[in-house]
Amino acid sequence: MKRKTLLDVLIRQLSKPQDPENSITIDQKEYQELKDQAKRYEQQRKQADTIRKRGERLENDLQQVKEQNKDIREQIRKERDARETQASEQQESLQQITSLQQQLKQERQLGEQLQRKLEEQQQLLKVQQQKEDVLQQQHRDTKAELRVVKQLLMDALRSSSEASNIESRLEHILQETRNALLQNDHGQTPKGTHSLSTSESTQDVLEKKSVSVPVTHWENAVFGRMAHGGVLQTEAGAFYRITELMVQQYDLEHEAQVRIQLDANRIVDIKLLFQGDDTLSPILQLTGTIQLGESYQWYCLSTEDPQQRYPIHYKDIEVLTLTEGIPCFFNIDTSESEFSRYARISRLFTELPEENRPTKNKKKPVANLAKRKNKPSPFLEGYTVAVVGGMKKWVEQTVTDTGAEFIHDDEKQIKRITAALTKVDAVFLLLTATSHESTWQAIEIVKEAGIPHFRIEGSKSNLRQLLIDNQERIRQAREDRNL
């Protein structure tokens, strides 16, 4: 528009008569203006091209953003669909888990019922077995007495002319007595059975010479590990030393609770009630080989640490036939005793391939003292813990190590601690032949009082772990009862 206006002005002026000098001047001015105007137009054109190109780039960027936005929306839609599918699957899985949990709970309840019935049957079998053992012992004792009586009668009356008649009569009495014993074993009472006390000749002989028949009995005891063998301490405070062979035979560990059958002062049999824990004893149980050192000194070389060797105790050197290089199990007493660093050999083996070496009684070696269990610092001070069942000596130390006050009962009827049970902070139950009935009574009492109760699974280690794992529950239960 401006260019057209300038051209019109120029045409009008050229059409007018003008002075040549003025005309040239005007043309030069207009030419300069036109030239400047052209430069401005060129700059504006370049700016317009730049703006146009920038607009094209922005349009391309906008198109790319739209495409990306479309892709993102599609991805979001897919993720939303996937989340919905996953949520649906999780819901189905949760329903399945809930159903399985309910089934597991029902099966667990059924298992507990079966376990209780099985335990009751086991208790009945134990009682029946004890009765049978008593009857068998009485039967053996009676037979022994009859044999002695017969021998005494025959010795006293051998020279008599009536010896044959008396022997026949005695045989008749012995036969009737055997029949009576057999009927007693089946719970029957014999009819017309003659007692030996009715025979005047038998009574006279028994008065002349008394016969003592050894009678065995059972006692509860706690086993203590030693470097070689161990010691059994009964509830009455008596001590009985046992050999290393017996320790391996009955697979005893430190502080195990056992029942021992005694004949006078001799151990006849050992029954393991609850296993102990060798890691709590001062005895290290190691594997190694025999080595002959300088000055003909015998050593046990540890396989866990070949740089560590222990001189063998002189008693083992005197008794055993040692050969260099043969494998062995040996024990080390870590206490401050006279022979605390001497090796006591537990077992010796001949040179056999590794897979053929006996491992039946091999205990897990504890080669590092740092790995051994130490007594925990008291964490239940001011609390009271009751244990129902088992020997007091067997469980007392484990409870008192926690700092708690200890209450114990192992009778069939809870009489001594019934009132105290409602005031304790926790109850631990141990099912044995003498505590089964009291266990259920204790459960009823502590349930009513809201006291946490736990079942000991047959070892001191389990009792110790139960105390450690449930200390917060015991504290919380007391706080809840005090509210």
> 458-474: per-residue pLDDT in tens?
677 788 889 999 999 99
pLDDT computed for residue 270 by the predictor? 93
Strand partners, 287: 329
- The region of weakest confidence among 45-49, 79-83, 210-214 is 210-214
pLDDT computed for residue 384 by the predictor? 92
Q: Which residues of 133-150 are buried (b: 16+ CB within 10 A; e: fewer)?
A: eeeeeeeeebeeebebbb
| CA gap 242, 232 in Å, rounded | 7
pLDDT computed for residue 211 by the predictor? 41
Non-local (6+) Cβ contacts of 370 within 8 A are none
Non-local (6+) Cβ contacts of 308 within 8 A are 301, 302
Displacement of CA 49 from its chain's centroid (Å)? 85
Query: What confidence tens digit (pLDDT) does each residue in 124-180 have?
Result: 887 777 777 667 766 666 666 666 555 555 555 554 445 455 555 566 666 666 555
Question: How large is the average pLDDT for residues 206-226?
Answer: 68
Q: Which residues of 449-458 are buried (b: 16+ CB within 10 A; e: fewer)?
A: eebbbbebeb
On whether the CB atoms of residues 278 and 285 are closer than 8 A, the answer is yes
> Does the pLDDT at position 187 exceed 80?
no
Of 382, 367, 322, nearest to 348 (Cα)? Answer: 322
Query: What confidence tens digit (pLDDT) does each residue in 356-393 have?
Result: 444 444 444 444 444 455 666 888 999 999 988 777 87
| Residues found in the chain | 483
> Does the pLDDT at position 216 exceed 60?
yes
pLDDT over 90 for what percent of the chain?
A: 18
> Three-state SS for 460?
helix
Query: What confidence tens digit (pLDDT) does each residue in 283-306 have?
Result: 999 999 999 988 889 999 998 888
Backbone phi, psi, residue 287, to 5°: -110, 150
For the sheet containing 266-274, what is the strand order? 239-242, 230-234, 216-225, 257-263, 266-274
Question: How large is the average pLDDT for residues 245-274?
Answer: 88
Displacement of CA 140 from its chain's centroid (Å)? 43
pLDDT computed for residue 65 by the predictor? 92
| Cα-based angle 270, 275, 280 (whole degrees, multiple of 5) | 120
